[in-house]
Amino acid sequence: MNHKVKIDYYSDVLCVWAWIAQKRLDELNKNLAEKIEFRYHYMDIFGDSKEKMDLQWANKGHFNGFSEHVLETAKPYPDAVVSVDIWKKVKPTTSANVHLILKSIELQYGTKISADMAKVFRKSFFINLQDISNLNVLYQLADKNDLDSSLIKEFINNGKALALLMTDYQQAQKLSLKGSPTYIIDNGRQVLFGNVGYRVLLANVEEQLNRPISEASWC
């Protein structure tokens, strides 16, 4: 009997590598839609973007230096378009707000809609330079994409979205995840992180699809 391979996907929406990975997620979902199940989680990489720049980029140009790094990183990937002014004209203070909104959307509208909005939010920042750390901007984007921001606010006001987000953050720490994005395939059988090519992802997923469910452990 066929089974779906579950992929726990951890990322930070402000991470350029997760933006680059978006095309690979789209392709996996397109080509293996009936065989895989993505479970989307978020991790704290840009929880405080200014502190990140102060600690890691103080001697490398601060935000301007980081901007150049992001542009060079994305340059080889035509599907991951990035504005030349990324991290210069607009400097989101945190990724926590966009993660919070996405968890609320997940609770209100389901996983697929939340994943679709994650793509919208990423595009809004990396291409259109919108400040997705601003809650008003996020609510406006939700409304423009046929979601009801008043319903989204319900799960933020009652704390349920924040509780779900804290579970993600704590689990990422517990698993000692090394970076964004990270793919955990079939409950830990394979763990991949960073700039993982589509063919590598596909090969690892297909390996799990072709492995018997009842295969015995060797130890």
pLDDT tens for 66-104 read: 999 999 999 999 999 999 999 999 999 999 999 999 999
**How far is the C-alpha of 136 from the C-alpha of 206, rounded, in Å?**
42
Q: What is the pTM of this model?
A: 0.92
Q: Is residue 218 part of a domain?
A: no
Per-residue pLDDT band at 218 (split at 50, 70, 90): very low
- For the chain, the three-class secondary structure string (H helix, E strand, C coil) is CCCCEEEEEEECCCCHHHHHHHHHHHHHHHHCCCCEEEEEEECCCCCCHHHHHHHHCCCCCHHHHHHHHHHHHHCCCCCCCCCCCECCCECCCCCHHHHHHHHHHHHHHCHHHHHHHHHHHHHHHHCCCCCCCCHHHHHHHHHHCCCCHHHHHHHHHCCHHHHHHHHHHHHHHHCCCCCCCEEEECCCCEEEECCCCHHHHHHHHHHHHCCCCCCCCCC
Q: Is residue 28 part of a domain?
A: yes
Q: Is residue 123 part of a domain?
A: yes
- Domain residues for the domain of 16 are 5-209
Closest CA to 185 of 170, 200, 165, 163: 200
**How far is the C-alpha of 182 from the C-alpha of 152, rounded, in Å?**
27
Q: Which of 86-100, 150-164, 198-212 has the lowest mean pLDDT?
A: 198-212
On the question of pLDDT at 217 being above 50, the answer is no
- CATH number, position 75: 3.40.30.10
Asked if residue 131 lies in contact with residue 83, where contact means CB atoms within 8 angstroms, the answer is no
107-143 pLDDT, tens digit per residue, is 999 999 999 999 999 999 999 999 999 999 999 999 9
Q: Is residue 219 part of a domain?
A: no
Q: Is residue 183 part of a domain?
A: yes
Q: Is residue 164 part of a domain?
A: yes
The number of domains in the chain is 1
